[in-house]
Structure 1
Amino acid sequence: MCTKEKGTVVRIETNQGTIRVRLYDETPLHRDNFIKLVNEGFYTDKIFHRVIKGFMIQGGDTATGHFLDYTIPAEFRMPARFHKRGALAAARFGDDTNPEKASSASQFYIVTGEKYSEFGLDALQKERYERLKQNIYNELQSQKRDTMKTLYREGNKAGLAELRAGILAEAEKQAESRKTETLFTDEQREIYMKEGGTPHLDGEYTVFGEVVEGMDVVSKIESSPTSVRNRPLEPVIILRARVDH
């Protein structure tokens, strides 16, 4: 994978070979944090602790699997920056404890993914639209929670039904006005079909760079035999990382 775009390049040296990644200037919080950790030597003797063939390789782990004690605010830059094969993105805790989708300070993953058909992308678009509508509905319902509690205490079933119907109608209206957010661009479709990736992660995890050299090394790591918890049986070690230019 190659690119002529500008941006800081970081060399990640592993016991399986070297991977070079370019960091996006459009995600300055993630870029600067990654460079800071690299310059501090944080990634020396860390591991790729989670490897799933046809999906991604995840690294920046310590022996205990602990995260650093801070997070990075999400920097979604859709549709320009997405989960194509070779994308560098930040891991994070799940939505139940992290609804803001803030990123881990240190753990990152590199997308390998799989190729999608046009039918598959159409199906994902529908899922994204329904998820958007559900999120809007949940937010609107949260705003009306006190009113709903009052109607429930009063036993006003008709009032509750009317309120819920109104919330649903408003959610559908707002979702339709934002439908373009759920659509794949022509560029995304072409890349996901020809090169592959993990499109279901778009808008969920911050993509802050991409591999510019060493996808063969990524593929080698991706093929590592793993345990039932997707941990390589033989350690895949990040020996060191340094800024190239």
Structure 2
Amino acid sequence: MKKLLLSLSLILLVTLTKAQSTFVRFVTNKGDITIMLYDETPKHRDMFLNGIKIGLYKDAEFNRVIKSFVSQGGELDDTILNREKQHPELGTKRFPAEIKPMLFHKKGALGAGRDDNSDKASYFTQIYLVVGKKQNDAQLDAIEQKKNRKIPEAQRTVYKTIGGTPNLDQDYTIFGEIVGGMEVADAINQMATDKNDVPLSAIVFNPVVLSKAEAAKLRRQLKY
């Protein structure tokens, strides 16, 4: 517990040199997933990199898998909230949101989990991968009416052809996307779970930051 609390304190203080187009490989017991972190959300990008550096995601698990919705990894809400309840002297620490209109919950997006705080601030130790499903115009129209916001035409096209979870847009910070291994992410999202969406067998992952050479090679392959 002391080590974890120390790590959570360090993550508030450590500032890494900002890297452009950073890639992280999720090495899982189901296969590898490669993710590009967005430079448009530099604070969340660096927060996640800091977390990897100090071991917050070592042997982490996708511990809440909601089929055709998201696969959540890191710490569960109950774990975080119970720790805060047991240690009120530490206060409630959340990471300020970086919600950008052009970053949305398309299939393959990487998001930061959070509780229902009014600032939409993120947890330090919880992420999720979007799987979602394809939407039709009627479904997207209903979301627009419910949330009183217009879904850009380009995003509507993506939701209709690739899929995602548009009902989460502008409520959670999206800070990356899958650029390799989507089939692994799909397989993880289809794993058998109990009634609480907890996988029946452990889905372990270890995020590894790609070297500059590896990232440069991957950018060339992806034409970024």
TM-score tier by shorter-chain length is 0.7 to 0.9
Q: Structure 2: where are the runs of 5+ without partners?
A: 1-19, 84-91, 213-224
Q: Does 1:225 align with 2:192?
A: yes
1:66 CA displacement: 3.0
Match of 2:108 among 67, 81, 86: 86
Aligned identity (percent) is 41
Match of 2:140 in 1: 121
| 1:72-221 matches, cutoff 5 A | 72-78=95-101, 80-94=102-116, 98-129=117-148, 182-221=149-188
Measured in 2, the distance between the counterparts of 1:111 and 1:208 equals 12
**Corresponding position: 1:241 with 2:207:** yes
Superposition deviation, residue 38 in structure 1? 1.2
Of 23, 29, 40 in structure 1, the residue corresponding to residue 54 of structure 2 is 40
- The C-alpha deviation readout for 1:159-214, integer Å capped at 9, x for no partner, is xxxxxxxxxxxxxxxxxxxxxxx111111010000000000000110001100111
| Residues 82 and 202 in structure 1, CA contact (< 8 A), matched pair in contact too | yes
Alignment deviations for residues 92-111 of structure 1 (CA, whole Å, 9 cap, x no partner):
011xxx11010010100000
- Report the Cα distance in structure 2 between the residues aligned to 1:232 and 1:28, rounded to whole angstroms: 32
**Deviation string, structure 1 residues 19-62 (Cα, Å, up to 9, x no partner):** 11111111111000001111222211111110011101000127
Which of 1 and 2 has greater Rg?
1
Cα shift at 1:215: 0.7
Q: Which amino acid aligns with 2:58?
A: T
TM-score between both structures, scaled by the size of structure 2: 0.78
CA contact (8 A) 1:112 1:219 kept: yes
Matches within 5 A, 1:64-75: 65-66=79-80, 70-75=93-98
- What is the identity, as a one-letter code, of the residue corresponding to 1:237? V
Q: Secondary structure at the match of 2:80?
A: coil
Q: Secondary structure at the match of 1:71?
A: coil
1:18 aligns with 2:41: no
Which is bigger in relative contact order (C-alpha 8 A, separation at least 6)?
1
Q: Which runs of 4+ in 1 moved over 6 A?
A: none
Distance in 1, matches of 2:31 and 2:74, equals 16
**Distance in 2 (alpha carbons) for counterparts of 1:23 and 1:233:** 30
Q: TM-score, normalising length from structure 1?
A: 0.71
Instruction: Count residues with an aligned counterpart.
Output: 182
Q: Tell me which residue corresponds to 2:7.
A: none
Q: Secondary structure of the equivalent of 1:203?
A: coil
Which residue in the other structure is 2:13 paired with? none
Contact 1:9–1:21 under 8 Å retained in 2: yes
Bigger mean CA offset, 187-196 vs 33-42: 33-42
Which secondary structure does the structure 1 equivalent of 2:158 belong to? helix
Q: Are the counterparts in 2 of residues 39 and 242 from structure 1 also a CA contact under 8 Å?
A: no
Partner of 2:221: none
One-letter code aligned to 2:103: R
Structure 1 alignment gaps of length 5 or more? 1-5, 130-181
